[in-house]
A and B are shown apart, each in its own frame.
Chain A
Amino acid sequence: MTTFDEVVQLIHEKFGVESGNLSPDTTLTEFGLDSLTLVELIFAIEEHFGVEITDDADIESLKDLATLIDELRSAKKS
């Protein structure tokens, strides 16, 4: 499973958003997240992937989010 697929699965399980409605280009606000639910999503991502996403991270789409997670994980391994 790719990181993107894992993110989609997490969003589906946590927020009940249908996986079919989520593509790599879907923006984080597009499926109904507001500033509070976005914070909760980032928290869930951090817990799930064991990474820490800083407040200044440049994330617009789910693709950006998956890429950042991969970068943080590989940085952690090295």
Chain B
Amino acid sequence: MSGREVVVTGLGLMSPHGNDAATVFDELMRGRSAIRLFERPGLPSAVVGQVEFDATQWFSRLQLVGVDRVSQLAVAASESARRDAAWSDQYASERIGVFVGSGMGGAATIDEGYTALAAGKRASPLTVVASMVNAPAAHVAMRIKAHGPVLTYSVACASSAAAIDAAARAVQEGDIDIAIACGSEALILPNVIRAWQALHTLASPDADDPSASCRPFAANRSGFALSEGAAAMVLESRAHAESRGARIYAAWAGSGMSCDAAHLTKPDADGQARALRLALQRSGLEPNEVGYCNAHGTATPIGDVVECNALRAVWGESIDTLRVSSTKSMHGHLLGAAGALEAAITVLALYEKQIPPTAHSHPADPACAAPIVRGQGVDAPDLTAAISSSFAFGGTNIVLVFRAEASR
């Protein structure tokens, strides 16, 4: 790895499990799900993850005009990450970058606009600026006064993994001194859920316990729960972080990217394996040095098998040194924000030396042949490196690698 070393110094979450990173991680370690039943007239039952969010804690009513929930969540998560990093005005504004991932942008605004038009009414004049997919990044930039690169990545489920990679590389190369990398998604709306239901990728609600509906790597898995939320991390050079005495959660070690270039939705083990290999190579790590994989693990019948096959192809004989979990079983699939939330969880796993589990993962599917952590989290005192995988519709695969600090 060349260039400056990049470290994570702040985390901010607006997640189905809450907004305090330590509490969220604790809930995950206990295997507690935040997924709930979602029922609306005319909508087949669904399970979703929603964020308890009071926008007026972050915006005045006047500031909220023309600001979609997806931007509100992004601003709240980014501002939380900045506070967590205890970074105020040490950096020149033109050396600050904002990198945001979102799949759909302002879904509620689009929904409202079309609903108004379909009813013969006019759409709000702010429909375009509230719904555009780069609105969250623009609002974060205005909030923190970032005058450097402010960019948006829309790569379906890998959107915010792409944002983190871009942010880390911009810091590594010295283009900027500090970055907010954020993912945000807010599409828990009946019309959006219907569209996903039509694609047959969503989990069937468990009649006895809806919170247990998403079962990655289990024999009876049926898909994922759609979720909303935002997660942000502050990335800066180690030299800057140490000079200001910042707490360092973990270091970004590198990333690997590939595209299946084969099918829009069907995952491909070869494509995933290429991203995994590249990630290890860029990070200077051997497979047996990586102790944890926060899997993409969407609990679709095909996806989980393909992902385990890709891990086996890369880890080979070392597969038993790895522990794998899909925390989507508990927070659901945040789509464009999934990469950022799961990267934050991976960073916390390294920081806390604990590996969160896959919940509701029994009975195990023997076809998912990887060492899955199931039920409850486990201690991992020797954990030194971990990866977070995001495999998107469209075929883009992104693997982020983080290293633990030697001591803290």
Contact = CB atoms under 8 A, between A and B. Distances in A.
Interface of A: 14-17, 31-33, 36-37, 39-40, 43, 47
A40 B126 contact: yes
5 contacts: A15-B65, A16-B60, A17-B62, A40-B65, A43-B124
Interface residues on B, range: 10 to 19
Contact of B66 (A17, A37, A47): A37
Contacts of A16: 60-62
B124 to A, nearest CB: 6
A16 B66 CA distance: 14
Contacts of B62: 15-17, 31-33, 37
A15 B61 contact: yes
Nearest to A43: B125
B129 interface: yes
Contacts of A43: 122, 124-125
Interface string B105-133: 00000000000000000101110010000
Contacts, number: 32
Nearest to B129: A36
B122 A47 contact: yes
B126 to A, nearest CB: 5
B61 A40 contact: no
A77 to B, nearest CB: 22
Contacts of A47: 122
Contacts of A39: 125-126
Nearest to A41: B65
Interface string B181-207: 000000000000000000000000000
A47 B124 CA distance: 10
Given A36-B126, A39-B126, 9 more contacts: A15-B61, A15-B62, A16-B60, A16-B61, A36-B66, A36-B129, A37-B65, A43-B124, A43-B125
B142 to A, nearest CB: 11
A15 B11 CA distance: 31
B122 A14 contact: no
Contacts of A40: 65-66, 124-126
B65 A14 contact: yes
B358 to A, nearest CB: 44
Contacts of B129: 36
Contacts of A33: 62
A16 B61 CA distance: 5
Nearest to A33: B62
A36 B65 contact: yes
A43 B125 CA distance: 7
B60 to A, nearest CB: 6
A33 B60 CA distance: 12
A39 B123 CA distance: 12
List the 6 closest pairs (A to B, CB-CB), nearest first: A16-B61, A15-B62, A39-B125, A37-B65, A32-B62, A43-B125
A35 to B, nearest CB: 11
A36 B124 CA distance: 11
Contacts of A15: 61-62, 65
Interface string B339-352: 00000000000000
A16 B64 CA distance: 10
A32 B62 CA distance: 8
Nearest to B121: A47
Contacts of B122: 43, 47
A17 B64 CA distance: 12
Contacts of A32: 60, 62
B28 to A, nearest CB: 36
A33 B126 CA distance: 14
A40 B122 CA distance: 12
Contacts of A37: 62, 65-66
A14 B126 CA distance: 14
A75 to B, nearest CB: 21
Contacts of B60: 16, 32
A49 B65 CA distance: 20
